[in-house]
Amino acid sequence: MSNKLIDGKAIAAAIKKEIAKEVATLIDADKKAPHLAAVLVGNDPASETYVASKERACKEVGITSTTYRLAEKTSEKELVEIIEFLNNDPDVDGFIVQLPLPSHLNSDKILEHIHPSKDVDGFHPLNIGRMQLGLPCYLPATPYGVVELLKRSKVEIDGKHCVVLGRSNIVGTPLSILLSRKSNYGNATVTLCHSRTRDLNTIIQQADILIAAIGQPEFVKGDMLKKDVVVVDVGIHRIPDASNEKGYRLTGDVDFESVKEVVSKITPVPGGVGPMTIVSLLQNTLSASQKKIY
């Protein structure tokens, strides 16, 4: 089974070494270290975990990390003021506003205030538009990470049928664009599926590469797949489990046990896509510090 696993931890570690080497070169040339900031509103546990992981990853590669922690009741005006401050701070190369935001804040409206040149999460409409056109931009971190996972695992995607489950603006939709565009690592034929898709099982059965980002625990079963499909599981869920000392187990959108004998390659949960999301954020921050795009 181990030869089938796409080890996101190992690939992320290799990329971190590459980033650390570039950062060291900058510092040796008397240039400042790249600086990544995060704005965290409220105390959502998953967001806290992600921001803590980002801070650790920055430290590993020599990137400066700053976190702005704001109260749950922070107003739109107050949040926009912080964003404008970061937009105009020459010491900060890129920053993220951690999602989800509290329900009284409009995420789309907030994200539009981030200057595209500092939008290292790749969510600003200008970066999304440039991605659509195949122009240089900051790519959304999770889709960027998935493409890098496939590339470094030597998964051939040119001309392959890639089925993406889930059409979110954070994962499914941008990923469908990246995989289908005319590029050195693209040219897949992509089917983007969602809650209104008819004959979903028939479409999944046709996939050479299946990317599950549907947000439903263990939705994909082994009997839904054709032999030797490549499966990328973007989902992560906590399932109550009394037998586990933590009281829960982590699982993805794929039923790993029923799928593992059918696939040629598969990402585990945890340890697959997750580590790559943070590494992609670091790669975007490094690019921002070197003004490679804007």
Q: With H, G, I as helix, E, B as strand and everything else as coil, classify residue 7.
A: coil
What single string gives the DSSP state of each residue in 50-72? Answer: HHHHHHHHHHHHT-EEEEEEE-T
Q: Distance between CA 269 and CA 259 in Å, rounded?
A: 13
Q: Distance between CA 204 and CA 224 in Å, rounded?
A: 7
Q: Does residue 121 carry a catalytic annotation?
A: yes
Q: Which of 98, 208, 233, 283 is catalytic?
A: 98
Q: Which of 7, 16, 54, 253 is catalytic?
A: 54
Q: Does residue 283 carry a catalytic annotation?
A: no
58 token code pair? 């920055």
Q: Distance between CA 212 and CA 59 in Å, rounded?
A: 31
Q: Does residue 98 carry a catalytic annotation?
A: yes
Q: Which of 121, 208, 233, 255 is catalytic?
A: 121
146 token code pair? 């998935």
User: Side-chain half-sphere of 284: how many Cα atoms within 13 Å?
Assistant: 31
Q: Distance between CA 34 and CA 120 in Å, rounded?
A: 12
How crowded is residue 267: how many other Cβ atoms within 10 Å of its Cβ?
29
Q: With H, G, I as helix, E, B as strand and everything else as coil, classify residue 222.
A: helix
Q: Is-contact 123 111, C-beta < 8 A?
A: yes
Annotated catalytic residues are 54, 98, 121
